[in-house]
């Protein structure tokens, strides 16, 4: 597998970083993670030439890899400092998983579609990160064995906030999840406090549905 510095994609990746800066991404750690992570290795070969466009792309099984700006906005909002334990719901391609691996101490990531998870596992391993644990299952239940988490990121749209995820937040921990309909949602940040949770609405987004016991039905 090609390295992040593959000459074929260096110019395209740097142009993407310039575009993200122009859109308001200023966190140097997030920009470094994006620079270190070869997005072209997380998309099918048929769309690899578009890997560094700021656009979502299909990855199979009816799923997509989000546009880089959405990943960057998620991560900039969290302001990770490097020592956190983070849960990712929806491994998908594994791209955001590796971004997180560069930004925190431990990443626990859950994917319900096994073929996606196996493809993501190969790409993650090839990137050389060693602080990632993967699980195939219903991400709306979270991963209680390793809770509490300092941050939880949900990569699919939910009809309402999955309560098991809120329960697995550490005090002061933050959950970022798209809330709304199957096609359009609003990105929302929940912070766990001594008295419950504080909600902050971020921006309109469009994600695939979060399927699971505490999300949407499969149909």
- Supply the pLDDT for residue 36: 94
Determine, yes or no, domain membership for 114.
Answer: yes
DSSP code, position 86: E
Q: What is the CATH number of the domain that holds 82?
A: 3.40.50.150
Q: How many domains in the chain?
A: 1
pLDDT tens digits for the chain (219 residues)? 334 446 678 899 999 999 999 999 999 999 999 999 999 999 999 999 999 999 999 998 888 899 999 999 989 999 999 999 999 999 999 999 999 999 999 999 999 999 999 999 999 999 999 999 999 999 999 999 999 999 999 999 999 999 999 999 999 999 999 999 988 899 999 999 999 899 999 888 888 899 999 999 976
Query: Which strands sit side by side in the sheet containing 185-193, from one edge to the other?
Result: 132-136, 106-111, 85-89, 149-154, 169-180, 185-193, 196-205
Determine, yes or no, domain membership for 210.
Answer: no
Closest C-alpha among 171, 157, 167, 132 to residue 215: 157
**Where in the sequence is the domain holding 98, given as residue range(s)?**
55-205
- 60, 63, 206 from 115: Cα distances, Å: 9, 12, 23
pTM for the full model? 0.92
Q: Which of 3, 26, 66, 133 is catalytic?
A: 66
Catalytic-residue membership of 66 = yes
């Amino acid at each position: 597998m090609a390295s992040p510095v593959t000459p074929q994609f260096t110019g395209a990746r740097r142009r993407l970083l310039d575009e993200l800066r122009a859109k308001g991404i200023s966190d140097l750690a997030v920009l470094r993670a994006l620079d270190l992570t070869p997005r072209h290795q997380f998309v099918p070969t048929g769309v690899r030439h578009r890997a560094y466009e700021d656009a979502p792309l299909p990855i199979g099984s009816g799923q997509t890899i989000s546009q880089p700006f959405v990943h960057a906005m998620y991560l900039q909002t969290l302001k990770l400092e490097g020592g956190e334990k983070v849960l990712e719901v929806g491994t998908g391609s594994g791209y955001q998983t590796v971004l997180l691996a560069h930004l925190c101490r431990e990443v626990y990531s859950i994917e319900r579609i096994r073929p996606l998870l196996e493809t993501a596992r190969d790409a993650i391993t090839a990137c050389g990160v060693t602080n990632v644990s993967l699980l195939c299952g219903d991400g709306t239940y979270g991963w209680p064995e390793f809770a509490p988490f300092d941050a939880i990121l949900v990569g699919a749209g939910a009809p309402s906030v999955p309560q098991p995820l809120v329960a697995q937040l550490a005090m002061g921990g933050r959950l970022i999840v798209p809330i709304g309909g199957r096609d359009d949602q609003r990105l929302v940040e929940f912070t766990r406090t001594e008295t419950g949770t504080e909600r902050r609405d971020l921006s309109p987004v469009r994600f695939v549905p979060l399927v699971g016991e505490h999300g949407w039905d499969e149909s």
